[in-house]
Structure 1
Amino acid sequence: MMLEGHFMTLSLQTVFRNPENPIYDFWKFSRGITAPLFLSISGLIFTYLLLKNKIQGWKNLRVQKGIKRTGVLILLGYLLQFNLYTYFFGGRPLFTSLTQIFHVLQCIGTSLFILISIYLLNHYILKISLGVLLAGLGLMVIIISPTIAELNYNNIPRFIENILIVSKDHSLNTSVFPLFPWCGYVFLGGALGNLIFRLKDKANHFVFPFGLIALGFFIKYLTYPILSGIQYLPGFNRLKPFQYEYEPIRFSQVLIFIGIIILVQKIILKLKASKQLQMPPLVFQVLLAVSFALGCYSFTFPLKNTSQNIIAYTLFFVPIVITLWKLTGWNYKTFLNIGQNTLSVYVLHVILLYQGFFGFRFGSYIKDQLNPFFAIAGAITFVFFFLAYTQYEPILIYQLNRMKLRYKIFKRKKQYKTSTI
């Protein structure tokens, strides 16, 4: 979702960005849920692994790894905002307003550090339910975010302001993922991770995804009355209005999305086990060929309405995606590899699309240049490039380590020869 969304957002021509077009509107919705989903899943997985460890407290291996990980995330986040090409060849300063903004890696890193601190505080002092604590903290972030945004930051360094909020001074670059309100998703995801850990084997039952979907709809439709009621409580009535905040709605959509994905996965696995999805390979290949041929034929006529566009693009691109899927050996293990290499995928895609660190200008050549057909084709190619990358990354790392080892051996031999002379 991230790779496809960023490629399409960068490359699609402005004339096709019509909110009244239902296809574009649906795509924009899916694009909008990507960041909340990414942040929530980060909190969910980290908290689950944190609690799953047999040793709790400071000696928990996940605490040590988590602290190192937060440092790496924050450092990489700021490094990606440098542009060496424009510094050496464009006469642009190395440190600009862009290098001071707070982006998604910094947000996740800082949020996870806060989550670790809360975990340790709770383990040694508070000793209450971590899930309740994180859910309460996530809700509090949502409640106070409007008030934090309205504070006076005139006497505060821009660097600090960018960490906290989206600055109202748009003469310089502003943050995309400041802590308020985005860290709330990490804490709410952490609360969900705690719930999954507490449920243990019950989380594998069919009831669990339905429960997530029901909870999502509950939050979606009851957020406004609940927050409106809190707004009138003593202490809260002095805060800026927060009942209209959109973050709870986004989190409800995240819950519904996760629930649907888990449910679909369970249904597919059940159908596979009962052998009801099996199809002769030749029949399957013929169906793909027919679909692709019909897709090609449909583009020979003007596509006058939304239905015709959906049918034509589906018939044409679905066989291509499935064929690439088969050729690259895309399976459940591939998804696990992507999940384990999310950071390297994110860093590489920022370098390619957004001129991160090195200043490669690939993204500038396609910016607002492609029509929907070529934008979709490019997005599919971009996604499968990274699927291939995640499969071959271990080999690349192995070869890199071998090169390092050979260099060390060569260096030692050279030092030995020099010392003997």
Structure 2
Amino acid sequence: MQTKDTRLYFIDAIRAWAILMMLQGHFIDGLLDNAFRDNSNIIFNVWKYFRGITAPVFFTVSGFIFTYLLIKVPELGWDNPRVKKGIRRGFQLVFIGYLLRINLLGLFQGEIYSTFYLVDVLHCIGLSILGIIGVYVLTANRKKWLFPSVLLIITTSLFLFEPYYKEVNFYLLPQWIANYFTKANGSVFTILPWFGYATFGSFMSIIFNKFKNHEKLYSRAIGISIVLGALLIFGSSEFFLAISQATGIQLFADIFFNNYLFIRLGDVLVVFAVFMLLRKFLTNKVGLKLGQSTLSIYVIHFIILYGSFTGLGLYGFFHHSLSPWLVVTGAVLFMIVCSYLALLYEDHKTAIKAVSNKGIGTVKLHVERTILLSFGVLRFLSIKLLRLFGLTKN
């Protein structure tokens, strides 16, 4: 029988891979000159396709790991201590998502820029965790099959009816709320349909946990993931077209013409299969530590690339202006720098929290701790960058 940590190695490895792909994806997409965005170029097309896999994998693995830890606890419903921790975590992620979009210069001038209200990946993952908790609490004291069934129904429904709700006009809602449902105002992600990937990851973790002690767990999981993934990638579009032709229902034709959700779900399954297949080789401590430090990496990359708090980031200076060679070299360096700083931060997290709290007293509210921690990260980065350029010795 395998230990818990061994079983989760491949999950941490997937998280590490996904966060690194996000780093290079954001860097290249933001800084590559438009003249080199040639869809007829096979290298650009391959990069573009794999960049599109990153977010579905990230949402799926987030739902997987959160639910896996949630259901490991014997207590059910509100008695499960992971429920309250998850609620705090969900709201923390939403809060950090907004915090990273604050511009201090505008704030000091008494102005909050409209970009502050845009929704990004942290907001959606935070809400996804809260959504999974809601489903768990409502089904915890009922039949065991109800929780995974509801999760799978949510995924299927969100993916099937995406052609309908993406056309909905949310103008009646306050704009900051509407931003969670529509990209019309500039939001990068919306809770619909991305919550569907998180619920699918949650569903997968329940199945994984149910058969965790089975001697053929991985061989069967790999086989099922590859077969189902291949069917979704290469056969789902034709499947929906056939249903549309047989029933005359326009919805299935609409899915056929823009079938990215089910295809990407197939990609996710193939990625899971590959990492499960290679799980025995994915025990490098640095790689696993990166997988456990995704939030720190995300915060650091946002500060450096997009200029959180100051408005001074690489995106502002080099937006769509670099050649392929420069942008690829820069992306590699960007991944290394962000990973290095994140690992340094994780190693010194306790000390940074102590520095942040010094002179302020005991912080009782979770939101206050989040603010202090975020500015602790900013202070830590500033010191490291100053030392890097030889501007300070202390």
Verify same fold: TM over 0.5: yes
Q: Residues of 2 paired with 1:57 and 1:70: CA distance?
A: 17
Aligned to 1:201: 213
Q: Which deviates the most, 50-59 or 188-197?
A: 50-59
Structure 1 residues 387-398: aligned runs within 5 Å: 387-398=339-350
> Does the CA-based 8 Å contact 1:102-1:176 persist in structure 2?
yes
Q: Residues 116-154 of structure 1, C-alpha deviation per residue, up to 9 Å, x if partnerless?
A: 100111113465342222111101111222222223434
Q: Which amino acid aligns with 1:208?
A: A
Q: In the TM superposition, what is the alpha-carbon distance from 1:24 to its structure 2 partner?
A: 0.9
Q: Residues of 2 paired with 1:254 and 1:29: CA distance?
A: 13
> Does the CA-based 8 Å contact 1:213-1:256 persist in structure 2?
yes
Q: In the TM superposition, what is the alpha-carbon distance from 1:157 to its structure 2 partner?
A: 2.3
Change (3 A) 1:155 1:104: same
Change (3 A) 1:123 1:227: farther
Q: Is residue 2:228 matched to residue 1:211?
A: no
Q: Is residue 2:236 matched to residue 1:223?
A: yes
Q: Is residue 2:280 matched to residue 1:260?
A: no
User: How does the TM-score come out when normalised to structure 2?
Assistant: 0.77
Q: Residues of 2 paired with 1:184 and 1:265: CA distance?
A: 26
Aligned to 1:108: 125
Q: Residues of 1 paired with 2:339 and 2:118: CA distance?
A: 30
Q: Residues of 2 paired with 1:73 and 1:237: CA distance?
A: 39
Q: Is residue 2:107 matched to residue 1:96?
A: no
Q: Residues of 1 paired with 2:36 and 2:245: CA distance?
A: 44
**Aligned residue among 246, 251, 255 for 1:243:** 255
Q: In the TM superposition, what is the alpha-carbon distance from 1:25 to its structure 2 partner?
A: 0.8
Q: In the TM superposition, what is the alpha-carbon distance from 1:105 to its structure 2 partner?
A: 0.8
Q: Is residue 2:288 matched to residue 1:336?
A: yes
Aligned to 1:15: 35
> Does the CA-based 8 Å contact 1:135-1:187 persist in structure 2?
yes
Q: In the TM superposition, what is the alpha-carbon distance from 1:369 to its structure 2 partner?
A: 2.7
Q: Residues of 1 paired with 2:223 and 2:142: CA distance?
A: 35
Q: Residues of 2 paired with 1:402 and 1:155: CA distance?
A: 45
SS at match of 1:200: coil
> Does the CA-based 8 Å contact 1:146-1:240 persist in structure 2?
no
SS at match of 1:58: helix
Q: Residues of 1 paired with 2:183 and 2:202: CA distance?
A: 24
> Does the CA-based 8 Å contact 2:218-2:276 persist in structure 1?
no
Aligned to 2:18: none
Q: Residues of 2 paired with 1:354 and 1:382: CA distance?
A: 13
> Does the CA-based 8 Å contact 2:103-2:112 persist in structure 1?
no
**Aligned residue among 177, 182, 188 for 1:160:** 177
**Aligned residue among 46, 57, 61 for 2:77:** 57
Structure 1 residues 82-93: aligned runs within 5 Å: 82-88=102-108
Kindly tell me the number of residue pairs found equivalent between the two proteins.
338
Q: Residues of 2 paired with 1:16 and 1:36: CA distance?
A: 26
Q: Residues 103-123 of structure 1, C-alpha deviation per residue, up to 9 Å, x if partnerless?
A: 111111111111110011111
Q: In the TM superposition, what is the alpha-carbon distance from 1:207 to its structure 2 partner?
A: 3.6
Q: Residues of 2 paired with 1:116 and 1:405: CA distance?
A: 31
Aligned to 2:381: none
SS at match of 1:63: helix
Aligned to 1:150: 167
> Does the CA-based 8 Å contact 1:138-1:185 persist in structure 2?
yes
Change (3 A) 1:139 1:365: same
Q: In the TM superposition, what is the alpha-carbon distance from 1:206 to its structure 2 partner?
A: 3.2
Q: Residues of 2 paired with 1:22 and 1:397: CA distance?
A: 43
Q: Residues 293-342 of structure 1, C-alpha deviation per residue, up to 9 Å, x if partnerless?
A: xxxxxxxxxxxxxxxxxxxxxxxxxxxxxxxxxxxxxx722222222221
Q: Which amino acid aligns with 1:47?
A: T
Q: Residues of 1 paired with 2:24 and 2:356: CA distance?
A: 35
Q: Is residue 2:308 matched to residue 1:356?
A: yes
Q: What 5-or-longer segments of structure 1 have no aligned partner?
A: 168-172, 270-330, 410-421
RMSD: 2.8
**Aligned residue among 167, 182, 187 for 1:175:** 187
> Does the CA-based 8 Å contact 1:144-1:242 persist in structure 2?
no
Q: In the TM superposition, what is the alpha-carbon distance from 1:185 to its structure 2 partner?
A: 0.9
Structure 1 residues 392-407: aligned runs within 5 Å: 392-403=344-355, 407=359
SS at match of 2:311: coil
**Aligned residue among 25, 49, 62 for 1:5:** 25
When Rg is computed on C-alpha atoms for both structures, the one with the higher figure is: 1
SS at match of 1:124: coil
> Does the CA-based 8 Å contact 1:146-1:241 persist in structure 2?
no
**Aligned residue among 141, 145, 151 for 1:128:** 145
Q: In the TM superposition, what is the alpha-carbon distance from 1:365 to its structure 2 partner?
A: 1.9
Q: Residues 325-381 of structure 1, C-alpha deviation per residue, up to 9 Å, x if partnerless?
A: xxxxxx722222222221121111111111223322333222223222221221111
Q: Residues of 1 paired with 2:63 and 2:84: CA distance?
A: 16
> Does the CA-based 8 Å contact 2:100-2:302 persist in structure 1?
yes
Aligned to 1:47: 67
Change (3 A) 1:34 1:112: same
Q: Which amino acid aligns with 1:201?
A: N
Change (3 A) 1:58 1:242: farther
Q: Residues of 2 paired with 1:257 and 1:65: CA distance?
A: 29
Q: Residues 281-303 of structure 1, C-alpha deviation per residue, up to 9 Å, x if partnerless?
A: xxxxxxxxxxxxxxxxxxxxxxx
Q: Residues of 2 paired with 1:378 and 1:388: CA distance?
A: 15
> Does the CA-based 8 Å contact 1:8-1:376 persist in structure 2?
yes
> Does the CA-based 8 Å contact 2:103-2:113 persist in structure 1?
no
Q: Which deviates the most, 15-24 or 201-210?
A: 201-210
**Aligned residue among 180, 187, 190 for 2:199:** 187
Q: Which amino acid aligns with 1:51?
A: I
